[in-house]
Structures are given as structure tokens and as C-alpha cells.
């Protein structure tokens, strides 16, 4: 026990019992982290998560059982963790950390915040709130066998947004199933659909509308009823998509109308999803065939570079389904196909299905070449990776609470040992970036756009909220009059939304002061007018490289590296190999967590 080690450890043990910590997220990493915290001696823990438990969570989020499906993750995690340590004081919130009530004053109640999130927007927000409250933040992420933990401290280290992040490679299920906003979301959905129809079915790869979407109004009784009903999507007993398709004989018209018409019409009944988004437009097979023209069906140019029309992709969908059905039948009963980007029928299917979904959700469709290059591998969630990372989070927390922030490190978990035969690679924390538009002393960015074509609404939603991660921005034009362009007060400047920036005198060289009072964050935006942006590009951030990943860290332990990203969403970990056995993963978990638990009060034992 810590107390038996002497006065320094007694002081740390007392600190653990007294300090108040916040855990954001109760999923893969969150479950492991909450267990580690109570077994290490933390007594005052608050946990927040908006999500509810799905059957697909049960293979790795060990605090949840079959009977919990449909319930709040945060609440069930609390109840399960209390069985490890009944004396712990745990508060659970079934809510979004981005809600205004969790303001800077809320964050100042804690000595430490630990992220266990799965999306970039929430990570950006928590990063800013911790900077505003001057509270240490431990950030973490996993992607398959890769993982990363880092510490963020205002004025001492890089913040989460100091370095550009690579394009997100995994996404929350509700985004894929209900509210895709980028082409990659539709491509992932199409790959899931291939497996549901022709390959190995996986509960993590459901494609039907998600009735338990956390954005919908949450009612415990309703959600639980949905989870236990045997005839609704999202429950434990579901009708197999493949069995349904087989019962229709893989009828392409029925498949098309089910996926692109009926399911979309069902999504439209979830009206809360479309209050701030453009609603999807269902497609009907017969209507498309009536309106088809030869050019839409055939396209022009090289085959892989063509972007067909909706009619063309509907025909491609039909042909690919027929081909894949025949391939499956030739393999015999119980056979499965494996998706391969180099298999023409499989690639045709994903290209057609992804583009039809892009059209439904008002995105520009992509060529077969583009989709093939974007498809990539779906990164699996691995329980033992989460366990290793959760152990490392607690080790970094102990350093912070001991007053040894300078000893904190960014730690990478790699697929295989580095040249020094180490799987866990600690690296020194980098200082804040002078060019960061979040943690610099006077955050400032330059945005290139066409002031005559950019709407005020696009500035608010696509630039300030999506690109710069703001929640409720207020925008004032520095024109000597203090003109208010955007107000976070509902309805105050709504009439401005449909007007162009030039209508308010904004031109080349104009400056906008943007404030987000919830995040206690101010950003100065310099406007550069440009009329020759690339096709489909609405704006550019000067000096930004959003599609480039940070340089992978060196294998040397003393080299500084960039901060990382997110659980189930591309942490910027280095990958120096492609094979690692599970037994070695488990030994790393023992290495990372064993030291913690061996000093815990109480240890693993009766409460386990």
C-alpha cells in the first residue's frame, strides 16, 4: 500500500482520496480507466458520457452486460465500478460535455481531467475548457494495436490542437448510420453494407438507422424498451441483413429501395437530427430509371476517373449485386465473401453504394479511383490496447498529483518493439506552439475565401464550428463600428445567415473578432479574398495542412513528438511494424498497470 512506503507515499495516498477528477467518456478506454482509478485509491470521480450501451460494446467494455443494453453508459459504469470499491464517491452524467452547463467554472472544480473520447469535436472542446480553467488534461487514444497517452498543461506543453491531425479513420456508429457529413462516412457505410450482405456479419458494422442515437431525446424507459424488443434494429435479437437479402433472392430493386428510400424516410422521422443539418433526400429506383439519360449512365473519360450520375451508380449497384450474388451462390451454403479493394465487383459495389449515399446526404460524388484510395482498412477496437492505455493514464495522473508534471511524458504503444526492444516508447512533452490558434497568447488565423460567395451561415457552421471547433461563436467585424455579424443569442442575427460576407463590407484584409464565451476563447480571423480556389473548396486556412498526419515519432525515447489524437479515431502513434502477439500486449498491460494496482488501496481481491 502507498501508506506503508513512507511519508511521500502517504501524502500521495491522501491526495488521491481527496482530489476530485473528471473522466470524459465511459466507453472502451473509459471502462478500463474507471476501474483503475478506484483500485488505485481515487475516491471522488465524476464521469460523463452521452452514449447508451449497444450490444456491440459488450465484447470489450467489460463494465457492461447484456442486461444493460440500452442504458446510460455513464450510469452503468458507475454502478459496476462501485462493486470494486463501494466507498468511492462517483457521480455520473448522461449528457454531452459540450452542453453549456459544463462551463469553465464546472471544470475548475477538478484537479485533473482525463479524456476517453471517440470524436475530435469533443476533444477540441475539452482541450479548450481545460486551458481556460488552467486544469491539467490527460489525453489518450487507441486505434487497433496502437495507442497513445499525453499530458496537456497550459503554458507548459502543447495543447491538443497545436499540431494538425490526420484525417479521421474511424467514426462513431451513429455518424455512419444516421448523419454522415463527409464522403469517408459513406465509404465506411458501404464497406459495412458489403459485409452485412455478402461477408461476415459484425454487430459493430450495422448499417440500418440507429434508433438509439445519443442526439435524440434520451428517455431511459424508451431506450431500454428498444433494446429488449426482438423486432427492432439495435436490439440483441435482430433479423440478419443477409438472411433478409437472401429471402428476396438479392432482388436489386428491393435492396435499392430499402437502403436508399425506406431507411432514409425512416431517418427523416428523427426530426431532431435535422434541426441544424440539411435533411437527406430519399431515392426511388423507378423514378431514377425514368429520368436517366445516357451520359449519366456511361460517364466520360477513363473508367476509374469517371463520376457518374445517380442513374449510372444505380445501374452499377444493380450489376455489382448480381455479380456478387452469383459469386456467393457458387461458393455454396454458409459461404462468405471478403471485401478486397482489388476485386472489381466488390469495388464496384462500394463505389456505387457510397456515391448513392453521398448524393442522398448532399455531398459531391467521387470517382472509383478516389473511393478506392480512401477505403483503407477499418481499424478494430481491441480490449487489451484500451487496458494498456488506461493503465498509462493513471501513471501520468500519479505524476501530476505528486507535483512532478515535468516528469510526465507522451507515451506511444506500438505494434512491435522498437530497435531498443521496447513496445512502450516515452517521449518528452513539446512546449506550446507559437502558431497555435488555440493556446497562443493571442490566437490568430488567416482564412482564404471568396467573400462574394461565402454565406454568413457557412462562416459560422463550416469554418468556425467545424474547422475551428467552436460551440457558440459571436463574431464582430473590426470595421470601426463594431458590427455584430453572428450572435450566439438565438434569433438575434439569424437574418444574416443567407447573406454573403461582402454584403457586410467584408473584403480582402478584413479582420473578424470571434468569441466563444462558453470556451472562454477568442480568435482573430484575417480574411483573404480569393476567387481561384480549387473546385469544391470553399475556404483554406493559410499555412494549414489538414490532410497530413504529424511526422511519426522517432524510435528514440528522448526525441520530442507531437501530441496525439483519439480513441477509435487515429491517434498519431508511430507504427514501426505490422505484427504483435496478444500475449505481449497482456504483458504490457501488466507492466503499465501492475505497478499501480500493487500499491492500490484496496488491491485486486474480494471486490474484484
CB of 577 closer than 8 Å to CB of 17: no
Residue 122 annotated as binding site? yes
Q: Which secondary structure element, helix H or strand E, spans residue 91, and what is its range?
A: strand 89-93
Q: What is the DSSP letter of 485?
A: E
CB of 536 closer than 8 Å to CB of 145: no
**Residues shown for the chain:** 608
Q: Is the dihedral of CA 462, 465, 468, 473 positive or negative?
A: positive
CB of 160 closer than 8 Å to CB of 123: yes
Residue 60 annotated as binding site? yes
Burial grade of 401 (CB within 10 A; 0-12, 13-18, 19 or more): buried
Residue 28 annotated as binding site? yes
Q: Among residues 530, 475, 531, which one has the least CA distance to residue 504?
A: 475
Residue 564 annotated as binding site? no
- Nearby residues of 101 by Cβ (< 8 Å), 6 or more positions away: none
Supply the residues annotated as catalytic: 174
CA distances from 158 to 23, 131, 150, 425, 431 (A): 21, 11, 10, 18, 5
Residue 366 annotated as binding site? no
Q: How far apart are CA 140 and CA 564, in angstroms?
A: 7
H helices within 51-95, ranges in order?
Answer: 73-81
Residue 177 annotated as binding site? no
Q: How far apart are CA 580 and CA 278, in angstroms?
A: 44
Residue entry with cell 526492444: 421
H helices within 335-436, ranges in order?
Answer: 344-360, 368-375, 383-401
Looking from the CA of 522 toward its CB, the CA atoms found within 13 Å total 6
CB of 521 closer than 8 Å to CB of 515: yes
Residue 436 annotated as binding site? yes
Residue 59 annotated as binding site? yes
Residue 420 annotated as binding site? no
Residue 599 annotated as binding site? no
Residue 10 annotated as binding site? no
Residue 304 annotated as binding site? no
CA distances from 197 to 202, 244, 292 (A): 11, 9, 27
Residue 121 annotated as binding site? yes
Cell numbers at 404, concatenated: 512532478
Residue 526 annotated as binding site? no
Q: How far apart are CA 324 and CA 335, in angstroms?
A: 12
Residue 427 annotated as binding site? no
Residue 49 annotated as binding site? yes
Residue 169 annotated as binding site? no
Residue 439 annotated as binding site? yes
Q: How far apart are CA 89 and CA 390, in angstroms?
A: 20
| Residue set of the binding site for ATP | 25-30, 49, 57-60, 73, 96-97, 118-123
| Residue set of the binding site | 25-30, 49, 57-60, 73, 96-97, 118-123, 159, 162, 436, 439
| Residue set of the binding site for Zn(2+) | 159, 162, 436, 439
Amino acid at each position: 500500500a502507498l501508506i506503508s512506503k513512507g511519508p511521500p507515499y502517504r501524502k500521495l495516498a491522501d491526495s488521491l482520496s481527496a482530489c476530485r477528477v473528471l473522466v470524459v467518456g465511459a466507453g472502451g478506454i473509459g471502462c478500463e480507466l474507471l476501474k483503475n482509478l478506484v483500485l488505485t485509491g481515487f475516491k471522488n470521480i465524476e464521469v460523463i458520457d452521452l452514449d447508451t450501451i449497444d450490444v456491440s460494446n459488450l465484447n470489450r467494455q467489460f463494465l457492461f452486460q447484456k442486461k444493460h443494453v440500452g442504458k446510460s453508459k455513464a450510469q452503468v459504469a458507475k454502478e459496476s465500478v462501485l462493486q470494486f470499491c463501494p466507498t468511492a464517491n462517483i457521480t455520473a452524467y448522461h449528457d454531452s460535455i459540450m452542453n453549456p452547463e459544463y462551463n469553465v467554472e464546472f471544470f475548475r472544480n477538478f484537479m485533473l481531467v482525463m479524456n476517453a473520447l471517440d470524436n475530435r469535436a469533443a476533444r477540441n472542446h475539452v482541450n479548450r475548457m481545460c486551458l481556460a480553467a488552467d486544469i491539467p488534461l490527460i489525453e489518450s487514444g487507441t486505434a487497433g494495436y496502437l495507442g497513445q497517452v499525453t499530458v496537456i498543461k497550459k503554458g507548459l506543453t502543447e495543447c491538443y490542437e497545436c499540431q494538425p491531425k490526420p484525417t479521421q479513420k474511424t467514426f462513431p456508429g451513429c455518424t455512419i448510420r444516421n448523419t454522415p457529413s463527409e464522403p469517408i462516412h459513406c465509404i465506411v457505410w458501404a464497406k459495412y453494407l458489403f459485409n452485412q450482405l455478402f461477408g461476415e456479419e459484425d454487430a459493430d458494422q450495422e448499417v440500418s438507422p440507429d434508433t438509439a442515437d445519443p442526439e435524440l431525446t434520451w428517455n431511459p424507459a424508451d431506450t431500454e424498451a428498444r433494446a429488449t424488443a426482438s423486432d427492432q434494429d439495435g436490439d440483441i435479437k435482430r433479423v440478419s441483413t443477409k438472411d433478409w437479402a437472401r429471402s428476396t433472392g438479392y432482388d436489386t430493386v428491393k435492396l435499392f429501395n430499402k437502403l436508399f428510400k425506406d431507411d432514409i424516410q425512416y431517418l427523416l422521422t428523427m426530426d431532431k437530427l435535422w434541426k441544424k443539418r440539411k435533411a437527406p433526400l430519399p431515392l426511388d429506383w423507378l423514378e431514377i430509371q425514368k429520368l436517366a439519360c445516357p451520359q449519366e449512365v456511361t460517364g466520360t473519360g477513363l473508367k476509374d476517373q469517371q463520376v457518374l450520375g445517380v442513374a449510372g451508380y444505380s445501374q452499377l449497384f444493380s450489376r455489382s449485386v448480381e455479380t456478387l450474388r452469383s459469386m456467393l451462390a457458387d461458393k455454396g451454403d454458409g459461404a462468405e465473401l471478403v471485401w478486397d479493394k482489388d476485386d472489381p465487383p466488390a469495388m464496384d459495389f462500394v463505389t456505387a453504394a457510397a456515391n448513392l449515399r453521398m448524393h442522398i446526404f448532399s455531398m459531391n460524388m467521387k470517382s472509383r479511383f478516389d473511393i478506392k484510395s480512401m477505403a483503407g482498412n477499418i481499424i478494430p477496437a481491441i480490449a487489451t490496447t484500451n487496458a494498456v492505455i488506461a493503465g498509462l493514464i493513471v501513471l501520468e495522473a500519479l505524476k501530476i498529483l505528486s507535483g512532478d508534471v515535468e516528469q510526465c511524458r507522451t507515451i506511444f504503444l506500438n505494434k512491435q518493439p522498437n530497435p531498443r526492444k521496447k513496445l512502450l516508447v516515452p517521449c518528452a512533452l513539446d512546449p506550446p506552439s507559437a502558431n497555435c490558434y488555440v493556446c497562443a497568447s493571442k490566437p490568430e488565423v488567416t482564412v482564404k475565401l471568396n467573400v462574394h460567395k461565402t454565406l454568413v451561415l457557412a462562416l459560422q457552421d463550416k469554418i468556425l464550428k467545424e474547422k475551428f471547433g467552436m460551440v457558440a461563436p459571436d463574431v464582430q467585424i473590426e470595421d470601426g463600428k463594431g458590427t455584430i455579424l453572428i450572435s450566439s443569442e438565438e434569433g438575434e442575427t439569424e437574418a444574416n445567415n443567407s447573406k454573403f460576407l461582402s454584403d457586410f463590407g467584408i473584403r480582402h484584409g478584413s479582420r473578424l473578432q470571434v468569441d466563444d464565451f462558453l470556451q472562454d476563447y477568442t480568435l482573430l480571423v484575417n480574411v483573404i479574398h480569393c476567387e481561384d480556389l480549387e473546385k469544391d473548396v470553399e475556404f483554406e486556412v493559410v499555412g494549414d495542412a489538414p490532410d497530413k498526419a504529424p511526422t511519426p515519432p522517432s524510435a528514440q525515447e528522448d526525441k520530442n513528438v507531437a501530441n496525439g489524437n483519439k480513441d477509435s479515431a487515429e491517434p498519431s502513434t508511430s507504427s514501426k511494424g505490422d505484427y504483435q502477439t496478444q500475449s505481449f500486449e497482456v504483458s504490457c498491460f501488466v507492466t503499465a498497470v501492475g505497478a499501480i494496482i500493487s500499491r492500490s488501496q484496496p488491491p485486486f481481491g474480494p471486490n474484484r
